[in-house]
A = this chain, B = another copy of it.
Amino acid sequence: MLDNVRANAPLIHNITNYVTVNDCANILLACGASPIMSDDIGEVEEITSICGGLCINIGTLNKNTIPSMFAAGKKSNELFHPVVLDPVGAGASKLRTETANKLLDEVKFTVIRGNISEIKALALGAGSTRGVDADVADAVTDETLDNAVTFARKFSARTGSVIAVTGAIDIVTDGNKAYCIRNGHPAMSSITGTGCQLSTMIAAYITANPEYPLEAATAAVCAMGLCGEKAFARMSALDGNSSYCNYIIDAVYNLTGDDLESGAKYEMR
């Protein structure tokens, strides 16, 4: 899956937030893809047309960028380009929840990736999202894993999208098969934007592997977690979350297909 990203170098259109956008661009380059960020209604359809895939991230959505999300999403659908939705902070405001739900109605997403609280906000119409972080009460643990997988499967069946719920244990499902992934490190939650980075990396993986959206998304989730582990192993006593963020992108840059094959920790349910 990763080798195909490096071989095809897909160009990924991002309509994304201004908080983590630089890291999103660099992680795309790190995994072998190319980024273009563009959010003006006057060009998004044209930009998405020259790209291979699209990632829509609502992290700092506003009245100018929301129409662009719809226009780019619909255009990508017309062209059969893969599209990822990252519903950042869904559940934290009506604007976020309603925009995400309206996007689900009008755009067909290949993959939706969020934390458990964001996905619950979309699936259940009500959320307890703590800002842009998952509510502790929602956390996916070994005890709640079966329920969470069932929940994700149902939401996948309803939306027709691969659902990636990421957290301590990640779940990726197409409604039928479900992968549970145990890569990653708790320190990843001390960095802003690992979720945003993963979402756009998923866009790169599914664009380079168009026949296998479930497996490609799963590979990207494993890759991000594995790189979180590798980066953490590199931390010195003086390093903190800022260096950790750099080290994760560095690890994505250095990751090979063989590394991913041997380091991925997943099971099928």
Chain A residues engaging chain B, CB cutoff 8 angstroms:
11, 17-23, 25-26, 29-30, 34-43, 46-47, 50-51, 59-64, 89, 92-96, 130-133, 190-193, 234, 237-243, 245-254
CB-contact partner of A238 in B36, B64, B191, B234, under 8 A: B234
In whole angstroms, what is the CA distance A2 to B251 when docked?
32
A197 to chain B, nearest CB (A): 11
CB of A132 within 8 A of CB of B190, answer: no
Interface of A is mostly: mixed
CB of B133 within 8 A of CB of A34, answer: yes
CB-contact partner of A50 in B34, B37, B92, B95, under 8 A: B92
Task: Report B-chain residues with C-beta under 8 Å of the C-beta of A38.
Answer: 60, 89, 93
In whole angstroms, what is the CA distance A69 to B242 when docked?
28
Task: Report B-chain residues with C-beta under 8 Å of the C-beta of A18.
Answer: 18, 21, 37
The contact sample of 27 A-B pairs, CB cut-off 8 A, is: A18-B18, A18-B21, A19-B35, A22-B22, A25-B193, A26-B192, A26-B242, A26-B245, A29-B190, A29-B192, A29-B241, A36-B92, A36-B132, A38-B93, A40-B60, A41-B63, A42-B95, A43-B94, A43-B96, A46-B94, A46-B95, A234-B238, A237-B254, A240-B249, A240-B253, A243-B247, A243-B250
Task: Report B-chain residues with C-beta under 8 Å of the C-beta of A51.
Answer: 131
In whole angstroms, what is the CA distance A46 to B92 when docked?
8
Task: Report B-chain residues with C-beta under 8 Å of the C-beta of A254.
Answer: 237-238, 240
Task: Report B-chain residues with C-beta under 8 Å of the C-beta of A62.
Answer: 39-40, 42, 64
A33 to chain B, nearest CB (A): 10
A127 to chain B, nearest CB (A): 11
Task: Report B-chain residues with C-beta under 8 Å of the C-beta of A89.
Answer: 36, 38
Q: With CB as the reference atom, state the residue of chain B lying closest to A45.
A: B93
